[in-house]
Amino acid sequence: MDYFPIFLKLQDAPCLVVGGGDVALRKIRLLKAAAARITVVAPELTAELGEMAQQGSLHWLPGYFASEQVAGMRLVVAATDQRAVNQQVSAAAQAHNIPVNVVDDPELSTYITPAIIDRSPLVIAVSSGGAVPVLARLVRARLESIIPAGFGLLAAFSARFRDKVKARFGDVEARRAFWESVLEGPVAEAVMNGREEAACQEMEKRLASTQDTPSGAVYLVGAGPGNPDLLTFRALRLMQQADVVLHDNLVARELLELVRRDAERIYVGKARANHSLPQEDINLLMVRLASEGKRVLRLKGGDPFTFGRGGEEIETLAEHGIPFEVVPGITSANGAASYAGIPLTHRDHAQSVTFVTGHKKDGSINLDWPALTRPDQTVVVYMGLTMAAELCAAFIQHGKPADTPVAVIEWATTARQRTLTGTLSSLPALISSYGVASPALIIVGSVVTLADKLAWYRRVENGPATMADSPQT
């Protein structure tokens, strides 16, 4: 290693910064975050630094650097645009064996400032040894995207229980296993969701228990419309922690590849009149698995609370006292419309949007037709493919013009996406001719006319369709 990584305690420690410009400001912000006592030497200060000096959050020595100013300092930073001055600062600090950083000049520095991921008290530093700072920042950006903001809360919470855990588990391996189960289980999730009191209660319960089996929990996770890039960070993290995954046919196979490799996978797909497991059995299966101490991931296409039956499932979990969490996802309607170039609202076309399901629990399509046929709105139909002919007929029967533009979007946001456009009168033939299959959404309204102009992801096929047409795949 060219540099030995180390973390310095700077609370109330005297630190000297030479320079009063924007570069110095960036270093001073970091030192302030570490609660250092800062002295700045510079003829002039930026407006922000001047305000800090007026507020007393730093001490300003107007003028130019003198070597005696480094005496008694814990840390020195040279941040001027004059290398001769920076050389003087470096030489004076090294003469007193004080760590010194000369910004963007590793040759004159005895330490360098890393790229920092701050989840205090958890802090991660990334360095390229001063050779390629941009690379260190790119690595930091990637780490920022995968390390939850709540890890800081989790670190502070865990520190409070450190002595109790040490007293409960004398064996190092047992202690390690306990912490792993805590930091990847319901306690950690409760902390990061702001439910610290519940987390404390569960932690005390775990410490008092003589059983080693951890408590189970269920996570209802929205997988989004299909494209793995549209997953939330939290969804991805839970997918990689789950012991068992319950999924259906609305979850793209690319998403399942992101689930933890050794997790048990259970298919609970439901299609109209063809349920691999009735909904009630799915609910009870989650209860049983969680009661066995397993972390259960219920992976749902789109968003769990938008025609995803998430409400029904967590009702059962709540009745049985099973801890659960709901992780929202990008709704299928939003994803499909965005990738098809169809804005759901538009000042010239639609001032409102309504989401409906193509059939109710009993299989009927008894919808609020007067509301759905109002002008200047968009209607998005979930699970309407098998009932498309009946739906289109009902729209027309209740006053919607037969030439109202419609679109059907299959496998939205994925490489298999197809967007087909037509009218209420031609949609059933369009679906039949192109062999459109689930998952697919139907969009009704004049906003569909914008698809040809605004489509950016896949070409739009326009109806009426015939078997001679060549659809985009």
Query: Annotated active-site positions, please?
Result: 248, 270
Residue 44 annotated in ligand binding: yes
3-state secondary structure of 261: coil
Query: At which residue do the structure tokens 């975050």 appear?
Result: 33
CA distances from 108 to 23, 155, 160, 436, 468 (A): 17, 36, 41, 66, 73
What's the gap between Cα 270 and its chain centre? 27
Residue 225 annotated in ligand binding: yes
CA distances from 440 to 248, 288, 425, 459, 472 (A): 15, 32, 18, 16, 15
Both tokens assigned to 313: 């499932």
Both tokens assigned to 285: 């299966």
Residue 22 annotated in ligand binding: yes
Query: At which residue do the structure tokens 């002295």 appear?
Result: 39
User: Are the beta carbons of 335 and 413 closer than 8 angstroms?
Assistant: yes
User: Are the beta carbons of 222 and 308 closer than 8 angstroms?
Assistant: yes
Residue 303 annotated in ligand binding: yes
Q: Which long-range contacts (C-beta less than 8 Å, at least 24 apart) are formed by 391-397?
A: 391/358, 391/365, 391/442, 392/424, 392/425, 392/427, 392/428, 394/365, 394/367, 394/369, 395/369, 395/424, 395/444, 396/424, 396/425
Residue 412 annotated in ligand binding: yes
Residue 383 annotated in ligand binding: yes
User: Are the beta carbons of 246 and 268 closer than 8 angstroms?
Assistant: yes
What is the Cβ-side half-sphere exposure of residue 259, based on CA atoms within 13 angstroms?
A: 24
The span from the CA of 350 to the CA of 214, in Å, is 51
Binding residues: 22-23, 43-44, 225, 301-303, 383, 412
Binding residues for NAD(+): 22-23, 43-44
Binding residues for S-adenosyl-L-methionine: 225, 301-303, 383, 412
